[in-house]
Amino acid sequence: MAELSETYACAPSTERGRGILISGDPKTNSIVYTNGRSVIIRRLDAPLEASIYGEHAYQATVARFSPNGEWVASADVSGTVRIWGRHGDRVLKNEFRVLSGRIDDLQWSPDGLRIVASGDGKGKSFVRAFMWDSGTNVGEFDGHSRRVLSCAFKPTRPFRIVTCGEDFLVNFYEGPPFKFKLSQREHSNFVNCVRFSPDGTKFISVSSDKKGIIYDGKTGEKIGELSMEDGHKGSIYAVSWSTDSKQVLTVSADKTAKIWEIMEDGNGKVKRTLASPGSGGLDDMLVGCLWQNDHLVTVSLGGMINIYSASHPDKTPISFSGHMKSITALACTLQSGEKVILSSSYDGVIIRWIQSIGYGGRLVRKDNTQIKCFAAVEEELVTAGFDNKVWRIPLNGDQCGNAEPVDVGSQPKDLNLAVQIPALALVSTDSEVIMLRGLQVVSTIKLGYGATASTISPNGSEAIVGGQDGKLHIYSIDGDSLKEEAVLDKHRGSITVIRYSPDASMFASADANREAVVWDCVSREVKLKNMLYHTARINCLAWSPDSRLIATGSLDTCVIIYEVDKPASSRITIKGAHLGGVYGLTFSDENSVVSAGEDACVRVWRLVQ
């Protein structure tokens, strides 16, 4: 059987020009955020401990822990709120269709009985408050004419709700049942976030007009504002209060986070500015923040999470990140003696992961093009993208050297290196196979069929090309020329992936009709058949280093591991390995499978005999 040993979770999904509202649970020191259809819960003191909930039918937008920390309410772009148990098998308590458009923020009442949600109502209501168990309305929320970006529940009695949005208004409601009390027009641009102080005496709203305004928590009247002296130079996207209600943390598009002291008269002055570690590019704009216990958490547009200490803000922050988009390729390589997992997502981000440590940094390339496929050897990365170019990038730890591209004429479908002579690479396009030595194209063969997958043997003496017709064409490599030796015909669908075993005695192929086959290299006979346990197209396969196990990953979200010497029926199946399908597989050692998929996460599975 296989057990999950590590999850390298995805980063929060972000959007230019919008804040993201992350939240936390101070008791367990956890934060919760969303990416795609997934809701991710992470421990701040143990970032490797991530649990992921993937039951939303649409893209999730925001999630919040209940006051007792036992339940999570999460919302999505369809206007649905799901309330589910945080522990165990995550039982669904309730599901309500709250708004007719996207939900941008939601908040629990301090007694955990009511929830308020705000967002885009497509012309109808933009805010709703309801009972968590029955979904019945607890008030009327008039007064907004455009999308409501944030809402907050007063944490002490008498209860109040405050909302803010794209109509530049901050609205104040009394209840329950909640009804409109007053509207504040202090801002001159979108109001991005509103939050009550933990003691309930004040609340603050921050806006794209670079201002922050503080109000009385009981009456809703303005009492002060954040000083413009040494203030933010860009839109303020999010705000979070300290636990003692005396300070706030704000983040802005000017790439800084600021800690403000809120004085007795209700005005705020800057106590400290936290510069974000980074190159100062667009991706370093800060879009989300959270003050939890002694942790100050900031999130950048590029998905980087920085954790500062509130008591020692001068200390270098702990930083970690992950992919934000679907992972398309995965490789495991040795770098200066340590095992490193490299994963690339379709937006061109390559991340290093170190087993049992986690995030090991981003590989920064000079030319950040999208990546279709890549292969890695110890000190070099070879990538192929949508721009018809193949790049050879020298690796130096987490830095990339200067890369040189070679244009192969049309879009590469598959890219493989001869492991023993890594200068030799085989690239297949729709109708050609191209052999590269270093950056020289040494031969190009026009094929009489549509090629969908290819591979080259570890010693560079043989190549196999798979076609749309399900046939495997075997070529011998003599010097720089390829000669067709045999055609194998067993598959019933177009070939999706072919891989040689590390000892070069076998190769495995898989097709779009959910079947995989292991072949003997010498006799070219089928060695393991009936590998028909997936329910959809097989996207990737990988061999264990000792050539004993083979793993296949599919669009049906499963990973299946077969032993070559045993019948296919004695397989190990990992169900639901990745929401949306598995797109990358590799072995980090004889008993560890690494998988990656559309949910932008990387997982390490230990095989237990």
Q: What is the pLDDT of residues 403-417, one digit of tens each?
A: 888 888 888 999 999
How far lies 184's CA from each of 143, 169, 195, 271, 428, in Å? 11, 6, 15, 27, 63
Question: Are the C-beta atoms of residues 37 and 15 closer than 8 Å to each other?
Answer: no
Residue carrying structure tokens 């609340």: 203
* Per-residue pLDDT, 199: 93
Burial 284-303 (b: 16+ CB within 10 A, else e): bbbbbbbbbeebbbbbbbbb
Angle CA 241–203–318, to nearest 5: 15
How far lies 137's CA from each of 114, 178, 179, 200, 379, in Å? 9, 9, 12, 23, 61
At 187, which helix (H) or strand (E)?
A: none
Q: Which domain holds residue 211?
A: 9-235
216 & 342 share domain:
no
Hey, how many other C-beta atoms are within 10 angstroms of the C-beta on 382? Answer: 22
Residue 108 lies in a domain: yes
**117 residue type, one letter:** A
**d(C-alpha 21, C-alpha 9), whole Å:** 18
Angle CA 195–201–204, to nearest 5: 30
Residue 483 lies in a domain: no
* Per-residue pLDDT, 307: 92
Which has the closest alpha carbon to 155: 192, 193, 117, 201? 201
227 & 368 share domain:
no
Splitting the chain (609 residues) into consecutive groups of 10 residues, what average pLDDT does each group show? 90 90 91 93 86 92 94 95 91 93 94 93 85 91 91 92 93 89 92 94 93 91 90 93 93 92 89 79 89 92 91 88 91 82 88 87 79 84 88 81 85 90 90 89 90 93 93 91 91 94 94 94 92 94 94 94 92 92 93 93 90
Burial 215-251 (b: 16+ CB within 10 A, else e): bebeebeebbbbeeeebbeebbbbbbbbeebebbbbb
Residue 525 lies in a domain: no
226 & 327 share domain:
no
**d(C-alpha 232, C-alpha 212), whole Å:** 10
Q: What is the CATH number of the domain that holds 224?
A: 2.130.10.10
Element counts in the chain: helices (H) and strands (E):
0, 56
User: Of 176, 208, 235, which residue sits at a domain end?
Assistant: 235
User: Of 396, 430, 458, which residue sits at a domain end?
Assistant: 396
114 & 217 share domain:
yes
How far lies 460's CA from each of 66, 286, 463, in Å? 59, 48, 8
Backbone angles phi, psi at 284, to 5 degrees: -90, 0
**d(C-alpha 110, C-alpha 153), whole Å:** 8
Strands 424-428 and 247-252 come out as unpaired
Residue 421 lies in a domain: no
* Per-residue pLDDT, 510: 95
**d(C-alpha 456, C-alpha 424), whole Å:** 9
The distance of Cα 311 from the centroid of its chain, to the nearest Å, equals: 30
Q: What is the CATH number of the domain that holds 348?
A: 2.40.10
CB within 8 Å of 314: residues ≥ 6 apart: none
The count of structural domains within the chain is: 2
With 0-12 / 13-18 / 19 or more C-beta atoms within 10 angstroms meaning exposed / middle / buried, residue 91 is exposed
How far lies 336's CA from each of 42, 379, 423, 534, 579, in Å? 30, 9, 20, 38, 34
- For 95, the token pair is 């599901």
Question: Are the C-beta atoms of residues 427 and 415 closer than 8 Å to each other?
Answer: yes
106 & 204 share domain:
yes
Angle CA 161–165–168, to nearest 5: 110
CB within 8 Å of 281: residues ≥ 6 apart: none
With 0-12 / 13-18 / 19 or more C-beta atoms within 10 angstroms meaning exposed / middle / buried, residue 186 is middle
**d(C-alpha 379, C-alpha 211), whole Å:** 49
Which has the closest alpha carbon to 390: 376, 366, 411? 411
User: Of 375, 396, 417, which residue sits at a domain end?
Assistant: 396
* Per-residue pLDDT, 264: 85
151 & 36 share domain:
yes
120 & 225 share domain:
yes
Greatest CA separation found in the chain? 86
111 & 225 share domain:
yes
With 0-12 / 13-18 / 19 or more C-beta atoms within 10 angstroms meaning exposed / middle / buried, residue 177 is exposed
Residue carrying structure tokens 């995805």: 10
CB within 8 Å of 559: residues ≥ 6 apart: 2, 551, 552, 553, 573, 574, 577, 582, 585, 593, 595, 605
**d(C-alpha 485, C-alpha 495), whole Å:** 19
Residue 226 lies in a domain: yes
Residue 264 lies in a domain: no
* Per-residue pLDDT, 347: 84
C-alpha Rg value of the chain to the nearest Å: 27
Residue 578 lies in a domain: no
* Per-residue pLDDT, 518: 95
Residue 51 lies in a domain: yes
Strand partners, 482: 477
